[in-house]
């Protein structure tokens, strides 16, 4: 992904795929028994490596929303944050990941 312009929209789409994977993880794991691997697993590996370097709050948000599957509304209630604040945090996560993914080490 080095020297490649990654858009926020591309990151959002990847995060939708990642969220879908975790929501339906049993199906993907079942397919692996038959050596059927989906490309989303590569995305997950890349994004998980990138998010490890995030501040704790961004890391928490990523895991809660994209791995555990919380909605922005449910995350805002759980953490007692306003919905608008949570939307801004989501934007920060997307910006963080976009910047990290443009570095060569996340290939």
Q: Where are the domains of the chain?
A: 8-102
1: confidence class by pLDDT, cuts 50, 70, 90: very low
Q: Does the predicted model carry a pTM greater than 0.85? A: yes
- Give pLDDT, residue 107: 58
CA separation (Å) from 48 to 19, 40, 80? Answer: 12, 12, 26
What is the C-alpha to C-alpha distance for residues 66 and 81, in angstroms, rounded to an integer?
Answer: 18
* Chain centre to alpha carbon of residue 35: 24
Instruction: List pLDDT tens digits, range 32-52.
Output: 999 999 999 999 999 999 999
């Amino acid at each position: 992904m080095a020297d490649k312009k990654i858009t926020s929209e591309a990151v959002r789409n990847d995060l939708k795929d990642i969220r879908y994977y975790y929501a339906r993880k049993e199906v993907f794991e079942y397919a692996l028994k038959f050596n059927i691997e989906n490309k989303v697993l590569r995305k997950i590996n890349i994004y998980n490596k990138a998010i490890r370097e995030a501040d704790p709050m961004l890391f928490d948000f990523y895991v809660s929303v994209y791995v555990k599957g919380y909605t922005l509304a449910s995350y805002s209630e759980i953490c007692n944050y306003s919905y608008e604040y949570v939307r801004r945090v989501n934007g920060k996560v997307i910006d963080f990941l976009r910047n990290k993914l443009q570095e060569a080490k996340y290939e």
